[in-house]
């Protein structure tokens, strides 16, 4: 499909699924090296940020081989096609993370407000290590100090949907990434 319409907007094909999956292969390979020393007694915590990161998290789960525990939380800052700047907690972070190595799995880092809020909370929970693994980043927009340890792909400052990302909740189930056609 070259174009899709969601609500009142039209989007055009931007990144085909095969390209996304190849980028995920590379990230998973790096994670497998960096977390090879995890054990059943000391597993990594894969912290999936709902809802956008579900597909990325699932694709990672199919590829990573070290012991891990899957957790989820839900923070939100977007309404329609732009960030509100206020990060709301809809499903709180899991409470017992003290001493754990946490991998935050994000769909996209834009202003970075979400990732800053999450890493702050993880510090309060006394995790041993927290790293960010994101499918996408809008480098032109991101201006925070939190290091993005694992980035599958960089995208320009355009509104995109698909592969878990939504426009007012629609479009998450599109397997390629589409960009707003304006
Ligand atoms: P940040 O807090 O500004 O970094 O925004 C991160 C969150 O905003 C992501 O987890 C997404 O849910 C949402 N978001 C940012 N850019 C886009 C986009 O282009 N399409 C869909 N959602 C987006
Ligand atoms: Mg969203």
- The CATH number for 98's domain is 3.40.50.2020
Q: What is the phi/psi pair of residue 58, to 5°?
A: -65, -40
Please check whether residue 111 lies inside any domain of the structure. yes
Q: Known catalytic residue: 143?
A: no
Q: Count Cβ atoms below 10 Å from residue 169 Cβ, excluding itself.
A: 9
- List, for residues 58-79, the tens digit of each pLDDT value: 999 999 999 999 999 999 887 7
Please check whether residue 63 lies inside any domain of the structure. yes
And the tokens for 56?
């990325």
* Confidence (pTM): 0.96
Q: Which burial class, exposed, middle or buried, applies to 94 when counting CB atoms under 10 A from its CB (0-12, 13-18, 19+)?
A: middle
The ranges of the chain with pLDDT < 50 are none
Of 6, 15, 54, 108, the one to substitute when testing ligand 1's pocket (max ligand atoms within 8 A of C-beta) is 108
How many domains are contained in the chain? 1
**Which residue of the set 25, 34, 110, 176 is catalytic?**
110
CA 95 to mean position of chain CA atoms? 20
- List, for residues 103-134, the tens digit of each pLDDT value: 999 999 999 999 999 999 999 999 999 999 99
Please check whether residue 159 lies inside any domain of the structure. no
Please check whether residue 175 lies inside any domain of the structure. no
Please check whether residue 170 lies inside any domain of the structure. no
């Amino acid at each position: 499909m070259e174009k899709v319409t969601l609500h009142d907007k039209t989007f055009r094909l931007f990144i085909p699924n095969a390209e996304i999956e190849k980028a995920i292969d590379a990230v998973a390979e790096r994670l497998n090296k960096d977390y090879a020393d995890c054990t059943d007694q000391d597993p990594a915590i894969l912290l999936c940020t709902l809802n956008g990161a579900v597909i990325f998290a699932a694709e990672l789960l199919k590829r990573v081989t070290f012991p891990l525990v899957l957790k989820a939380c839900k923070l939100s800052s977007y309404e329609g096609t732009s960030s509100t700047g206020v990060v709301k907690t809809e499903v709180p972070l899991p409470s017992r993370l003290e001493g754990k190595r946490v991998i935050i799995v994000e769909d996209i880092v834009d202003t970075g407000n979400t990732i800053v809020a999450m890493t702050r909370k993880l510090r309060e929970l006394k995790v041993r290590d927290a790293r960010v693994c994101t499918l996408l980043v809008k480098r032109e927009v991101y201006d925070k100090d939190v290091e993005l340890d694992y980035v599958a792909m960089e995208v320009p400052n355009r509104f995109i949907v698909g592969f878990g990302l939504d426009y007012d909740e629609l479009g998450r189930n599109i397997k390629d990434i589409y960009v707003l056609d304006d």
